[in-house]
Structure 1
Amino acid sequence: MNHLDKLEARSIHLIREAYSEFKNLCMLWSIGKDSTVLLWLARKAFYGHVPFPLVHIDTGFKIPEMIEYRDKLAKEYKLDMIYGQNREALKKKHTFPDGKVTRIQCCKNLKTEALKNTLSGVWPRYRLNHNTGEYEVDKNKEPYIGVIVGARSDEEGSRSKERYFSPRDRNNDWDVGDQPPEFWNQYKTDFAPGTHVRVHPLLDWTELNIWEYIKRENIPTVSLYYNQGDGKRYRSLGCYPCTKPIDSDARTVDEIVEELKTGKLANIAERSGRAQDKEDGGLETLRRDGYM
């Protein structure tokens, strides 16, 4: 087995372990490269079928191509596709683009709060009806106990502190200093009632591994990751008011792999285009409160 084979095998094992241990399980799909690789691995783990819902938190400010891509793949792969949204904040314009709150507070409103209340079933969930092709209010309001996430430890400092099976309390809060030990591939999956557990099958993957795997498996990704002729491309995807592209001539997966191998981006953080990360507290503050 080569390195990618080993990463793939461990990730598939973790996905299957989560499926066997948690009754109400879902997978977060942000439409980005990491969570799309995670979706690919889940399909491999269950021979083309994903036996749990895919959950997307729609902030209302995603780049339109991302939503189009989500629905295209959901229909093609016959996914149990669900999205959640903080419709109240959007209605009252409690967002950064509307000038009423900071970027961090906007993320809390549209991502953290929407995620918490979608996972718990307190707010409405919207499920894709494959017969009509439209989203409808989901009648199932049971909370998700296990949540599979495409976080990588090398992507950002706070994510390097995660475990494969990482507990959150009733409020989705993450206690960084109280994580279970994981030795010799032994994982704690039995937690107190009210706990929900984030599962991280991609924790050991690097950005280069992700792109090498996308190349090997020929995984479809949004065109935003590639230079379209203006010398720029997105390295990390998010909301369009707070996410900026980087300077890059890479037009294909091969060229992105080469770009990463040569070290051209070695001194540029992967999430350098995410403006909210630069505000006070940044991503770790958001993640302690329950963000992805």
Structure 2
Amino acid sequence: MEAQSVYILREAYREFSRLCMLWSIGKDSTVLLWLTRKAFFGEVPFPLVHIDTSFKIPEMIAYRDRLVRDWKLNLIYGENRAALDARRTFPAGALSRIACCKALKTDALVNTLSGAWPRYRFDHEQDRYVEDANTEPYTGVIVGARADEEGSRSKERYFSPRDHHSDWDIGDQPPELWNQFKTDFAPGTHVRIHPLLDWTELNIWEYIAAERIPVVPLYFDQGDGTRYRSLGCYPCTTPVESTASTVNDIVEELRTGKFSHVAERAGREQDKEGDGTLETLRREGYM
């Protein structure tokens, strides 16, 4: 599985000149970051993009900035500053959870990738974020989505085209047979690349254990009998009851424990607002 993911990463780098990788700070995209450093001999030869809703759990942002400094990463973040300033959010009581996701995640992502909205790059010399002068659009976007994580993700391809608005036509996906991948698309096509598509949640944690990959401590029980299984914005993400305090504990829990048949995103409240809402968001550009 590692070799397949490395192959996909190298194909993406060879085929797409304006390439970036989304980093949500969660375990999947951090495994993807680790694989990228393996694929390119310790380097990450394209920018990482993080969409900051301003409602991420604080430990997530602290972890993000620590790895950016320690690994000398080229990180860019984007945000929907207009919605935040106007308090058009779910926590402010102005929007539903799904509408808030669309505003703070989907709209922010689409406009950050296109360069229409400001981007902020970490300047290692100044040790702070500064506005990025480069507004060139990213047309190849590497994402840590997994097919088993949620229903709409199971409809993706390794190389999954969108139109120039980032809209996704699920019925118009290229066939991918015998490791033959379509990488030449019409001008203006926006392509999402999914090197982890066939990994499972258990595969991810087994790989984290084998490689000793540092992840956000929120995934582990800190002594109160709860931990996070999936990370997102704090108003919409709830911990699960679990005493797993190490990676090996989580692996065992997934293999034989109570979570072996429980959906990974069961603690993500926006997934519960209505049938098909998350797929609708993904059709419009959501991660």
- Coarse TM-score class (shorter-chain normalised): over 0.9
Q: Does 1:176 align with 2:162?
A: no
The correspondence for 1:283, drawn from 251, 274, 278, is 278
* SS in structure 2 of the partner of residue 272 of structure 1: helix
Residue 267 of structure 1: CA displacement? 3.2
One-letter identity of the residue aligned with 2:26: G
Residue 184 of structure 1: CA displacement? 1.0
Q: Does 1:94 align with 2:88?
A: yes
Look up the match of 1:33.
27
Look up the match of 1:132.
126
Look up the match of 1:47.
41
One-letter identity of the residue aligned with 1:221: V
Identity %: 72
Bigger mean CA deviation after superposition, 260-269 or 63-72: 260-269
* SS in structure 2 of the partner of residue 158 of structure 1: helix
Residue 268 of structure 1: CA displacement? 1.8
TM-score by length of 2: 0.99
Cα distance in structure 2, aligned partners of 1:282 and 1:152? 18
Look up the match of 1:147.
141
> How many pairs does the alignment contain?
286
Cα distance in structure 1, aligned partners of 2:121 and 2:65? 11
Cα distance in structure 1, aligned partners of 2:24 and 2:101? 14
Structure 2's unaligned 5+ residue stretches are none
Residue 194 of structure 1: CA displacement? 1.1
Look up the match of 1:78.
72
Residue 171 of structure 1: CA displacement? 1.1
Look up the match of 2:13.
19
1:230-279 CA-to-partner distances (Å, cap 9, x unmatched) read: 11000000000000000101000010000011042133210000000011
Cα distance in structure 2, aligned partners of 1:51 and 1:94? 36
Cα distance in structure 2, aligned partners of 1:289 and 1:279? 17
Cα distance in structure 2, aligned partners of 1:194 and 1:210? 33
Look up the match of 2:197.
203
Query: What is the 5 A alignment of 1:264-275?
Result: 264-275=258-269
The root-mean-square deviation of aligned C-alpha atoms, in Å, is: 0.7
Residue 151 of structure 1: CA displacement? 0.2
Residue 131 of structure 1: CA displacement? 0.5
* SS in structure 1 of the partner of residue 67 of structure 2: helix
Q: Does 1:121 align with 2:128?
A: no
Cα distance in structure 2, aligned partners of 1:46 and 1:9? 13
Structure 1's unaligned 5+ residue stretches are 1-6
TM-score by length of 1: 0.97
Cα distance in structure 2, aligned partners of 1:270 and 1:252? 18
Cα distance in structure 2, aligned partners of 1:219 and 1:47? 16
* SS in structure 2 of the partner of residue 26 of structure 1: strand
